[in-house]
Amino acid sequence: MAIEIQWIRDNASLAHYCASWRSLPFVAVDTEFMRVDTFYPIAGLLQVSEGERAYLIDPLLISDWAPFAELLVDPAVVKVLHACSEDLEVFLRLTGSLPTPLFDTQLAAGYLNLGFSMGYSRLVQAVLAIELPKGETRSDWLQRPLSETQVSYAAEDVLHLAEVYAALQQQLAPEKNAWVLEDGAELVANLGREIAPEDAYREAKLAWKLSRAQLAVLRELCAWRERQARVRNQPRNRIIREHSLWPLARTQPDNLVALARIEDMHPKTVRQDGEFLLQLIKSAAATAPADWPQALPEPLPVDASTLLKKLRAVGQREAERLNIAPELMLRKKTLEALLKSGYPNGPYQLPDTLRGWRRELMGQALLDCLAAEGESA
């Protein structure tokens, strides 16, 4: 099947088409980008479809993204994407805006119990009985001209995305459709809740094992790493490798030889930033006790796993009742946060991460499960 392709290579054309798309109920949107050696994704191509043709936007030739940003935030136009977390970063980087309302077809497949975390090709095969060609996902999207195969691949992807959306819409009950949009809004909100560099240490591996004095060092190391990754536009592990952070904060080397011996420490990091890191560690180690971070909570003990399974079963029962992929129901991190709020004897509090329909449908059942467990203990 020949696909009608419309190229958009200048600001005026983009503004024209964005205005026409804003009169539609939805647009399917996809991106092709490169992210090999950079912190931020580099857009190579943006694709839009209303289900009839494919519009290919060349981001290397566009300088005014305001009309596209307005389309992204237009509440009257549903933006359809698939497994969109990295696409969202592309939009934020290019336009400063994020899509709302957002319909993620991967999430919708889970709500229809077609499968959890389905790849795009599998979903197209399941819904449209079309086999997509493979082979271009890892190609160079910044090269010009793009090859015929690349152009065909990109156009097919976005056109079929619009068709998949139309097919899924016919199957989704209004309630589930609302839940897909609610989860889409949550994806957007999570990206908007970017962790401050000063709080990055909380996510570091084994941070809970460190004393408060050592955490003060880890906090500065992680904050510096985060800022440098953004400034240099390099992956975090190019600045300091993840596995080096904890031993750096724990042993606090005071010379280049000791620094070079740190687990997983890259020689380039020692050469490029070694002296600065030693000074940073020395300065952070001198932090007054009043300014040390609070100790981080330990992971749940092994014997909490039985209770975790019982909580997960609450979600699984609800998933069966609603015919939803069980993995969509209750995230492990949310259940762990619930347990940490009062383990082992309670009282427990529902965590902030349990929101929306999940909180309404399962919040009380989770608390009841924990209360019953406490009574039987």
Query: Each residue's pLDDT tens digit in the chain (377 positions)?
Result: 689 999 999 999 999 999 999 999 999 999 999 998 999 999 999 999 999 999 999 999 999 999 999 999 999 999 999 999 999 999 999 999 999 999 999 999 999 999 999 999 999 999 999 998 876 667 899 999 999 999 999 999 999 999 999 999 999 999 999 999 999 999 999 887 778 999 999 999 999 999 999 999 999 999 999 999 999 999 999 999 999 999 999 999 999 999 999 999 999 999 999 999 999 999 999 999 999 999 998 899 998 999 999 999 999 999 999 999 999 999 999 999 999 999 988 899 999 999 999 999 999 999 999 998 866 55
* 13, burial (CB in 10 Å: exposed 0-12, middle 13-18, buried 19+): middle
Coil, strand or helix: which one is 68?
A: helix
Count the residues in the chain: 377
Coil, strand or helix: which one is 330?
A: coil
pTM given for the model:
0.91
271: Cβ contacts below 8 Å, ≥ 6 apart: none
Phi and psi dihedrals of 117, rounded to 5? 55, 45
Indicate the CATH number of 5-192 among 1.10.287.110, 3.30.230.10, 3.30.420.10, 3.40.50.720: 3.30.420.10
Q: How many CA atoms lie within 13 A of 330 on its CB side?
A: 27
Same fold, 197-291 and 302-376: yes
Q: Where are the domains of the chain?
A: 5-192, 197-291, 302-376
Identify the CATH number of the domain defined by range 197-291: 1.10.150.80
Residues forming the active site: 30, 32, 87, 153, 157
Measured CA distances, 63 to 44, 46, 137, 169 (Å): 14, 14, 25, 35
10: Cβ contacts below 8 Å, ≥ 6 apart: 61, 62
Paired sense of beta strands 102-104 and 78-81, if any? parallel
Phi and psi dihedrals of 371, rounded to 5? -65, -40
What DSSP element (H or E) covers 103?
strand 102-104
Q: What per-residue confidence (pLDDT) applies to 375?
A: 61
| CA nearest to 286, candidates 244, 320, 252 | 252
Paired sense of beta strands 42-49 and 5-8, if any? unpaired
Q: b/e for 86-104, b at 16 or more Cβ within 10 A?
A: ebbbbbbebbebbbbbbbb
| Topology, domain 302-376 | DNA polymerase; domain 1 (1.10.150)
